[in-house]
Structures are given as C-alpha cells and as structure tokens.
Amino acid sequence: MFMRSIFPSRGAARARPPRRLDRVVVPTGVERPFPPGAIIVTKTDTTGRITYANPTFLAMAALEEADAIGAPHSIIRHPDMPRCVFAHLWREIEARREVFAYVNNLAADGANYWVLAHVTPSLDGSGRIVGYHSSRRPAGRAARAVIEPLYAELLAIERAHASRREGLAASQATLADELEALGTTYDALVLSLVRG
C-alpha cells in the first residue's frame, strides 16, 4: 500500500457561455516537457471555469485561448488522476486555505504533463471568494517517485467500485489511513517532497 477570462465586453460585463471541447481526448503516453523557468498561471470563477490562462498554460495544454476561456478547468484532467485528490483540493480552497498538490494533466493533443499546483482563493474587498488562482511549476522526479504509486493505488480503489461515490469514499479513507500511518497530512507530505 502506498500512499478550475471572463473578459468583460465593451459596455456591460457579461459572462461567456460555457465552452467545452467537442472531442474525447485519449492519452497518448507522451509526456510534454516543461519549459525551463516557466510557470503556468490560470484563474477561474467560483465554479472552476477558466477566466484567465497565460501563454504557458495554453502551450502546455495544447489549447487555443478561445477554447480555454469559459471552459471548466477539468478540461485538462487526466483520467489517471484519483478524484480524492481533487476533492481534497476543493475542500481546502473553499475553506479559504491555499493548497499545494501534485497533478498529472492531460493536454488536448493527448500528451500529459506533471505539475506542482499552488491554488489559492481570490477574495473581494468584503472577503468573499470570487474565484481561484493557480500557479504551477514542474513536478520533480523524486516527488513523482513517491506520488505516482500513491495515485495509482488510489485510482485503482476508485475504479474497483461500481458507484463513483463509493469509490471516492474508499480512496479518501485509504489516503487518510496511509497518511495517518506516516504521521502526516497530504499538505505536509507535498511540502516535504517540494523541499526534497
């Protein structure tokens, strides 16, 4: 065992209709290299729809800006990512806490790329969450050597259940048990891997 721009148009601001790719992306198994020194930046609204994407995100995700803006951030979700990791991420940011997570992303052309994501809630002047900001750097090889087997185990647990809800609950329980056995939390584990 192991261990989401609504760009205002001139005049009145209005949200763009939700966008989605009209195709299913099949992973090719080809890993896209991360450009040296680059940082991926995206912003989303409170429902996880992309409101801003920097050029690095567009290049890494093999997306045109018109396809990215207004799309759910899950447009780049790799099918080999366990859902319990995203459940943890959402729980943390909705509670107004920053979160770091290792994520394997799927580009529109089928390539994948691993990142260390740092996600924070964006607050208005009243302290209300109005969206989320994420910056991503490449995930180091040593960290991936720890994270990939953990994620594979959690994914297998999720897929072993006929019900998605039961699979998610089982993988969350397994993650909690394994972290408890190590005497750590997911966030502490990630940060320890960042520090090496």
For 40-195, CATH number out of 2.120.10.70, 3.60.20.10, 3.30.450.20, 2.30.30.140 equals 3.30.450.20
Taking the domains of the chain in order of start, what are their residue ranges? 40-195
Q: Report yes or no: 59 and 39 within 8 Å, Cβ to Cβ.
A: no
Please give the model's pTM, rounded to 2 decimal places.
0.86
- Confidence class of residue 3 from pLDDT cuts 50, 70 and 90? very low
Question: Helix crossing, 141-159 with 164-182: angle to 10°?
Answer: 140
Q: What is the DSSP string of 101-127?
A: EEEEEE-TTS-EEEEEEEEEEEE-TTS
pLDDT 10s digits, 68-110: 999 999 999 999 999 999 999 999 999 999 999 999 999 999 9
The span from the first CA to the last CA of the chain, in angstroms, equals 22
Q: Which residues contact residue 105 at a Cβ distance below 8 angstroms, ignoring those fewer than 6 apart?
A: 60, 61, 76, 77, 78, 112, 113, 114, 115
- DSSP code, position 72: B
The helix/strand count (H/E) of the chain reads as: 6, 5
pLDDT 10s digits, 18-74: 444 556 899 999 999 999 999 999 999 999 999 999 999 999 999 999 999 999 999
